Chains A and B, each alone.
Chain A
């Protein structure tokens, strides 16, 4: 499946500086990667820490631009087909393929590809055991994949999935790939599904699903994930365990609940749980503890502030926040610009038509030659106006495609926030465990002090001591796992930020180029049309001069 070489598994030179004083200055030289754990056939990460030798990426990952500048036509499935835009335009805006800086990317992305398309929505009925006849109706979508990625073990796959499966996929990915900028999935759009026409809604959803899957396929790490692969390949019902698998969690929870409620000292956080964010249901106590911790953080003053250990990160985060604001603003103005261009084109068209009608009328009713002459002039002007209208609207259609990059990155910011909050919650888990550990240690100390006063000790105290020791061991393990997870997420954040910066730069330059070239091309065309008319009517200018 996935070898370690394809992942960002790094050896870290940095010693993570966590806030807790009780932490010994271990340097964590290797990190457990979630991917390698998955490769060991178990879906419980960190069940068995594996050491993976660090190996730097030999190939830069394929770019966002392949996905971000979405293909022109819905039918086009390929990222790499040359865009059928204006033939006159030099292919600046051709998915970044022609660029010097991305030439390297071309050769790599040509090596590995993963093309996904979504089509043929179909209504199906849920087989229902309920008394009410006629089951729940829902839509499924045909998902076609072609790829040459080795891990997929095949080149073409076709499956049918429903929206619920997408939600499952998305939830699983966000659990497993904490710290990554995972493209956000399409909304559930409950209101829209009620309000819109069925056809329209289904088509809208189909488009959204395709965009989403293509973005996932464009992410260098996620494209090789088990979750995505299974989603794209496996026939029949989706075998990914859902996060809302309430029943099993309830079962687990029921077992643990009494212990948790009574605050049994043995209710520690198991190591494997430490790498998961606290969720509802069984993690009640853990949530409570982490909440306590975060409050303590806030009140404890700047010392316990999250993230001040990594100044570089704090800076980058701040920068991204500012970027997001400006991106939102620019995105809004881009929309207004597009609307204004559209209106211009439409009104031009209406003006042209009005003149055509007038011209026809004058010709029909002409009693004088002057009228016919005027009608002839009018015809030329009207035709040019209609042409200009068409050109404006074409210009606008292209503009939309280019400026869409702004919207895409806006959407991506959501993923960035999620990745950053993954980091915060992982840190919170670590801090909570450290606090826990420290309190366990002090309890152990007190117990020692107390029992040392009694010669020979007493049974219950000894037993308690043993329990405490056990608890400390488990918590220590959990703490180590939590720290590893935190570091892993930090590293994911770091590399993702790097990738985001690099790809964003290329994509934005592409966008600007595309936008500008587009404007130049169409303005030239429009100018030529009008210049002709200006010349033809030049005689009038001299007459009235």
Chain B
């Protein structure tokens, strides 16, 4: 079973992170030792998260904490909020059904995905500086729990309510003013990117679907070979001497190959199908960032619009030499600052996204290249084992027919 780390720079190994000797800043994380906790409906998996670092903000060179899936979700949500424009690494799905079964394979898949998730964050030059990351990696369990339940609770913060209210308002005004279509950028390159991302998701999902089926086929072939082997052995017992022996040997080889097939099925799942799935998730995460960009753009546009209107009002008031002028000027200044802030935010997102997309493409080429390599390697290895196993039978079969 091969579990490989696929992030670059400071990626952790399976069990414990490397501690490089250099004085370069490093942040090395690994997610290990999944353990089943609790019972029945409330059961969950906890993971040991080991951090090795020389970052000044972090207390100590090494820290071990216990985290569960919802902690990771909290981290992701926080990062998504704070680092708009950056493609936040994706998380494995929540999966409420499989949770109850908790198969070893499911647990391992999830552990691997979470490990990759944290490592990507830790190796991203901006994300790794996140305060939330530090809390996630270092805070004690109670603090973590408090933070988590605050965020992921049903009741949102008051500011969220305001935002929702504002959204509804703007939507209403849009309808009233006849501007039902959401305001969109008219950037052709970005349009191309959006279309690309949406279509890419479809293609990837298709490929991943077939990859998953291929894993199943390996398992099924393994099972049927095993059953065939058993049946052939029994048949051999009916026949005497040489023929019976030949059947027995064939049956035995079948059973051996069945095991190899199961192994390859697992290898295929972890090293080929999962990376494809991860790719799909990553693309979905990008879509999330795109939504943020659209929101930022819209906000910027609305504020710009509002500023213009306010300016007109202000000029009116100036002409009328109204007492409200001072207040109005004050409001105007505030609005302008807000508008500049929104513009800044938006432009920041645009800038970050263009960097991210380059990084993303590079990373994906490497990731897919490795996945293909593992796929080909596994298949070659399997095919050779099969050929070897059957070939070893030939001299015996020859002996049979000449006897």
Contact = CB atoms under 8 A, between A and B. Distances in A.
Interface in B200-241: 200, 203-204, 206-207, 209-211, 213-214, 216-218, 220-221, 223-225, 227-228, 230-232, 234-235, 237-239
Contacts of A365: 192, 195-196, 199
Contact of A374 (B206, B225, B364): B364
B6 interface: yes
Contacts of A99: 401
B361 A370 contact: yes
B375 A381 contact: yes
A368 interface: yes
A272 interface: no
A336 B227 contact: yes
A517 B365 contact: no
Given A330-B235, A534-B373, A370 B362 contact: yes
B377 interface: yes
A537 B370 CA distance: 7
Interface stretch (A185-193, A351-359, A411-419): A351-359
Interface stretch (A7-15, A38-46, A338-346): A338-346
Interface stretch (A140-148, A282-290, A318-326): A318-326
B390 A541 contact: no
A110 interface: no
Interface in B386-402: 386-387, 390-391, 393-394, 397-398, 400-402
A353 to B, nearest CB: 8
A512 B247 contact: yes
A132 B199 CA distance: 65
A527 B384 contact: yes
Interface of chain A: mostly helix, strand, loop or mixed:
helix
A448 interface: no
**Residue with the greatest number of chain A CB neighbours at <10 A, chosen from B8, B231, B246, B391:** B231
Interface in A60-111: 99-101
B361 A371 contact: yes
A5 to B, nearest CB: 30
A351 B393 CA distance: 32
A237 B398 CA distance: 50
A276 interface: no
Contacts, number: 209
Q: How large is the interface on B (under 10, 10 to 19, 20 to 34, 35 or more residues)?
A: 35 or more
A344 B192 contact: no
Contacts of B225: 337, 340
Given A326-B235, A330-B235, A371 B365 contact: yes
Nearest to A323: B238
A377 B369 contact: yes
Given A374-B368, A524-B387, A354 B373 contact: no
A347 B213 contact: yes
A520 B390 contact: yes
Nearest to A328: B231
Contacts of B400: 509, 512
Given A505-B243, A508-B243, 7 more contacts: A329-B234, A334-B228, A340-B220, A361-B200, A367-B196, A520-B394, A530-B376
24 contacts: A323-B235, A323-B238, A326-B234, A326-B235, A340-B220, A343-B217, A344-B218, A347-B216, A351-B211, A354-B209, A373-B365, A506-B401, A508-B239, A508-B243, A516-B250, A517-B394, A519-B387, A520-B390, A520-B394, A531-B380, A534-B376, A537-B370, A537-B376, A540-B369
